[in-house]
Amino acid sequence: MKKHEHHQISEVFKTSEIYETKTSETSTFHVGPIPIYGDIILAPMDGYSDWPFRSLCRELGSAMSYTEFVRDADVLNRPHYVESKLTYTEDERPIVYQIYGSNAEEILAAALRLREHEPDIIDINMGCPKNSITNRGAGAGLMRSPREVARIFEMLTRALDIPITGKIRLGWEDRQNYVEIAQIIEENGGALVAVHARTKEQGYKGEANWDAIAEVVQAVSIPVIGNGDVQTVADVRAMKNHTRCEGVMIGRGARGNPWIFSHLDRDEVPLPKVEKTMLTHLSRSLEFYGPERGLVLFRKFAARYLSPYGLPADLRKKILTREEPGEFRELLAVTIQGIERG
Same-domain pairing of 251 and 308: no
Query: For 61, which DSSP code?
Result: T
Half-sphere exposure of 259 (CA within 13 A, CB side): 20
Same-domain pairing of 148 and 287: no
Neighbouring C-beta atoms of residue 250, cutoff 10 Å: 28
Domain extent at residue 291: 270-341
CA nearest to 164, candidates 179, 174, 149: 149
Residue at a domain's end among 239, 263, 287? 263
Same-domain pairing of 182 and 227: yes
Residue at a domain's end among 263, 298, 314? 263
CA nearest to 144, candidates 184, 195, 110, 193: 184
Amino acid of residue 174: D
Catalytic residue among 128, 149, 248, 311: 128
CA nearest to 68, candidates 155, 158, 167: 167
Model pLDDT, residue 16: 38
Neighbouring C-beta atoms of residue 51, cutoff 10 Å: 27
Model pLDDT, residue 90: 95
245 in catalytic set: no
Model pLDDT, residue 155: 98
Q: Using DSSP bridges, classify how beta strands 65-66 and 193-196 pair: parallel, antiparallel or unpaired.
A: unpaired
Model pLDDT, residue 341: 81
Residue at a domain's end among 263, 288, 313? 263
Same-domain pairing of 201 and 312: no
Same-domain pairing of 218 and 316: no
Question: 4 in a domain, yes or no?
Answer: no
pLDDT per residue rounded down to tens, the chain (342 residues)? 343 343 445 443 433 333 334 444 799 999 999 999 999 999 999 999 999 999 999 999 999 999 999 999 999 999 999 999 999 999 999 999 999 999 999 999 999 999 999 999 999 999 999 999 999 999 999 999 999 999 999 999 999 999 999 999 999 999 999 999 999 999 999 999 999 999 999 999 999 999 999 999 999 999 999 999 999 999 999 999 999 999 999 999 999 999 999 999 999 999 999 999 999 999 999 999 998 899 999 999 999 999 999 999 999 999 999 999 999 999 999 998 888 887
Same-domain pairing of 258 and 311: no
Question: 290 in a domain, yes or no?
Answer: yes
pTM score of the predicted model: 0.90
How many domains does the chain divide into? 2
Question: 175 in a domain, yes or no?
Answer: yes
- C-alpha span between 73 and 82 (Å, rounded): 10
Contact call for residues 193 and 168 (beta carbons, < 8 A): yes
The dihedral through the CA atoms of 84, 87, 92, 96 has a sign that is positive
Model pLDDT, residue 15: 37
CA nearest to 307, candidates 342, 339, 272, 263: 339
Question: 71 in a domain, yes or no?
Answer: yes
Same-domain pairing of 249 and 304: no
Model pLDDT, residue 98: 98
- C-alpha span between 98 and 138 (Å, rounded): 13
Alpha-carbon distances, residue 339 vs 172, 266, 333 (angstroms): 46, 16, 10
Same-domain pairing of 200 and 288: no
- C-alpha span between 81 and 70 (Å, rounded): 9
Domain with 316 in it: what CATH number?
1.10.1200.80
- C-alpha span between 137 and 134 (Å, rounded): 5
Same-domain pairing of 230 and 329: no
Same-domain pairing of 334 and 213: no
Same-domain pairing of 229 and 291: no
Same-domain pairing of 258 and 150: yes
CA nearest to 192, candidates 70, 63, 331: 63
Domain with 57 in it: what CATH number?
3.20.20.70
